[in-house]
Structure 1
């Protein structure tokens, strides 16, 4: 990950965000990229999360002057439980190109990791002066409370940007690996995730930054 991205994201990662950029990769053959029409796809069985995510990302791209559509409005809306074949994907790509799309932004969960942190509370606790009874009283709950070790999950997400220009294959432009820690609220998680993706794409010169008008500055 580039040093400039790390510096830019310090403030974001020190916030209460549930998302964290783990790794960012950019095609070395591409210095800048200017998408025209973007299809936003969220791969998840959670329809609510998918719709909120796609709509949020679509709105952020629109604010930056890009035409974007969500998979809900592009894919066939009739129920289809069958997996797509290579032929299906080829046909979809041809249709997207014919409809003026040149970019696909795809996000999916690629893994889940369980974590068990040690719950601690050091408020008003002097580490330089403690005795056996103080130590025992503080931590005896370990023997009586099965929830003393609190489990949570880290979802491993991946977002990729593809160019589907008519004269090229599905060329990978950018890929980012993002951890989502113990998501409790779909709305907050979606907001944090989209905000992080947008920040990185702006820094990588793959989308334009949000322009601030003079009225907004004053």
Structure 2
């Protein structure tokens, strides 16, 4: 079945984005977010998507004066492949602190919904169809009619959280934002769009400077 035109437009243009902001929370006690060394972690076993995402988000942070690094420089890529105990995660945190990291931005898929969109039937006409008898006569015939159809697609719920790992456990969360990505079919386009939405929201909430 053909992809719905609206979804294709969403994925291929920035005017109609595939990413939708849902909600966010900001630690009001953090007046200025200025980490010395920020680690970016994409929680996915899709190494291509992970690499593209971390590189793109790193570039955006670096352009705003934040010293950011991809996860591959600090942790084994297999660390996020399986569930880890609290002790293992605490050990990782201590290792990161020893390497000079004071903040972590971690992104994960927190849910996936299957959706169905209904497209009603419609007639299509050529240019100036009403000037001639033939096209006018045929306007309600099947030759000009596209019938109803349904299209299945997925909505991915993505969450990005930023932590100050040097701070007290109860105050370490700096910011968390939730976004929906609609039917991603192109990794690069979807990742780039998602990163743009993250940065735009962080700018609105005055956590990173505007360019």
Shorter-chain TM-score category? 0.7 to 0.9
Counterpart-to-counterpart distance in 1, 2:186 and 2:144: 32
Counterpart-to-counterpart distance in 2, 1:79 and 1:157: 20
Q: State the match for 2:19 in structure 1.
A: 19
Distance 1:140 1:56, change over 3 A: closer
Distance 1:204 1:123, change over 3 A: farther
Counterpart-to-counterpart distance in 2, 1:77 and 1:106: 14
**TM-score, scaled relative to structure 1:** 0.75
TM superposition shift of 1:192:
0.2
Distance 1:17 1:140, change over 3 A: closer
Q: RMSD of aligned C-alpha atoms?
A: 2.7
TM superposition shift of 1:209:
2.2
Q: State the match for 1:112 in structure 2.
A: 112
Question: In the alignment, is the contact (CA less than 8 A) between 2:123 and 2:144 conserved in 1?
Answer: no
Please show how residues 199-218 of structure 1 align to structure 2 within 5 Å: 199-210=200-211
| 1:141 pairs with 2:143 | no
> Which string of whole-angstrom CA distances, capped at 9 and with x for unpartnered residues, describes residues 75-118 of structure 1?
12578855322111111111111221111101010111111111
Unaligned runs of 5+ in 1: 1-12, 125-132, 143-147, 211-218
Question: In the alignment, is the contact (CA less than 8 A) between 1:32 and 1:204 conserved in 2?
Answer: no
Question: In the alignment, is the contact (CA less than 8 A) between 1:35 and 1:207 conserved in 2?
Answer: no
4+ aligned runs moved over 3 Å, structure 1 = 77-82, 120-124, 133-142
**TM-score, scaled relative to structure 2:** 0.77
Which deviates further from its counterpart, 188-197 or 70-79? 70-79
